[in-house]
């Protein structure tokens, strides 16, 4: 492959990655997860990052609960919905991340500095090959 073909290939790859990223971003914005308490007292819906978007009471069962019990039940149901939303976000994000990057830690905000600034800079294999750079540890 000559220089121009390699450059063209890199631009095509960039276009594919950009398109995939745009699609993934839309899917992330569209995340909506609901959880319903076991006895159907409350249903909680959350968005992408676990942001609360709705609370409904599908039956009159909530009326039998004290305010303290209802609060605890709403918070528990919210936690379940949020966990599901974060898992879904990590599933969508994982294929877009470089090897070794933890999607779960990233969406939960628990990823350390080493996630963003690894000891060795990340770059595409094709760029490494083009530049004649070997990966450390090989």
Separation between Cα atoms, residue 54 and residue 57, nearest integer Å: 10
Q: Residue 135 pLDDT more than 70?
A: no
CATH 3.30.1310.10 domain extents, the chain:
3-98
CA R_g for the chain = 22
Q: Residue 8 pLDDT more than 80?
A: yes
Segment 31-87, tens digit of pLDDT: 999 999 999 999 999 998 889 999 999 999 999 999 999 999 999 999 999 999 999
| CATH assignment, 3-98 | 3.30.1310.10
Separation between Cα atoms, residue 59 and residue 39, nearest integer Å: 9
Separation between Cα atoms, residue 128 and residue 122, nearest integer Å: 10
What's the 3-state SS for 53-113?
A: EEEECCCHHHHHCCHHHHHHHHHHHHHHHHHHHHHHHHHHHHHHCCCCCCHHHHHHCCCCH
């Amino acid at each position: 492959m000559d220089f121009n073909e390699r450059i063209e290939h890199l631009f095509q790859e960039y276009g594919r990655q950009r398109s995939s990223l745009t699609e993934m971003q839309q899917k992330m914005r569209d995340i909506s997860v609901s959880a319903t308490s076991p006895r159907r007292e409350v249903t909680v819906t959350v968005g992408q990052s676990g942001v609360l978007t709705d609370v409904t009471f599908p039956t009159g069962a909530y009326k039998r609960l004290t305010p303290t019990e209802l609060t605890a039940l709403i918070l528990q149901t919210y936690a379940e919905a949020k966990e599901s939303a974060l898992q879904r976000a990590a599933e969508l994000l994982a294929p877009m991340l470089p090897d070794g990057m933890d999607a779960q830690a990233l969406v939960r905000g628990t990823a350390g500095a080493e996630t963003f600034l690894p000891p060795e800079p990340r770059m595409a294999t094709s760029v490494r090959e083009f530049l004649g750079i070997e990966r450390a540890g090989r």
